[in-house]
């Protein structure tokens, strides 16, 4: 029987980590909504670990967070939506105004509970990650992630 040498094991990737770091702060809403900023009158309320409610005071309101990104790199965003009474978007833009600045809907207009994901290619070194609800509705979010 032929033995694989250590150099062969390294060459096939053993010991190399392929997991990407989480870029969102408090995307799992462990004990609060810290790290998230209200946008256009959106009101986030912490319910329990892994559960936040966002009430839209006006059309297209919600929460956002700023992350550092590398221009040209592809990122994957995922969202667990547990309930919604409106359209819920999970998107990226280059500004705090979700409607401008190279907007990419990672998860466009979901109206049913489920686990959703999508990607975006960074066009700036700073990206704004938004959860937006429209129209005047309420969304119950489980976990948000960007890697």
pLDDT 10s digits, 18-64: 689 999 999 999 999 999 999 888 889 999 988 999 998 877 889 99
What's the pLDDT score for residue 77?
94
Q: Is 10 a domain residue?
A: no
Q: Is 11 a domain residue?
A: no
Q: Is 134 a domain residue?
A: yes
Residue in this structure with the two tokens 């799992």, named with its chain if needed: 28
Q: How many CB atoms lie within 10 A of CB 55?
A: 18
Q: Which residue has the higher pLDDT, 12 or 142?
A: 142
CB of 55 closer than 8 Å to CB of 42: yes
CB half-sphere exposure, 50, CA atoms < 13 A = 2
Q: Supply the range of the domain harboring residue 136.
A: 20-146
Question: What number is the average pLDDT over the span 88-114?
Answer: 83
Could you give the number of structural domains in the chain? 1
What's the pLDDT score for residue 41?
86
* CATH number of the domain bearing residue 81: 2.60.120.260
Q: What is the CA radius of gyration of the chain?
A: 18
pTM of the model: 0.81
């Amino acid at each position: 029987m032929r033995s694989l040498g250590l150099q062969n094991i390294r060459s096939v990737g053993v010991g190399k980590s392929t997991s990407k770091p989480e870029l969102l702060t408090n995307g799992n809403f462990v004990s609060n909504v810290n790290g998230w900023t209200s946008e256009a009158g959106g009101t986030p309320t912490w319910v329990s670990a892994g559960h936040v409610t966002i009430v839209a005071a006006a059309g297209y309101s919600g929460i956002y967070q700023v992350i550092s990104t590398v221009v040209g790199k592809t990122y994957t965003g995922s969202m667990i939506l547990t309930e919604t009474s409106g359209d819920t978007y999970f998107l990226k833009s280059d500004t705090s105004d979700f409607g401008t600045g190279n907007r990419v809907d990672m998860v466009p207009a979901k109206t049913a509970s489920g686990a959703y994901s999508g990607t975006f290619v960074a066009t700036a070194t700073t990206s704004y990650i938004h959860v937006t609800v429209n129209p005047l509705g309420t969304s119950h979010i489980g976990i948000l992630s960007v890697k």
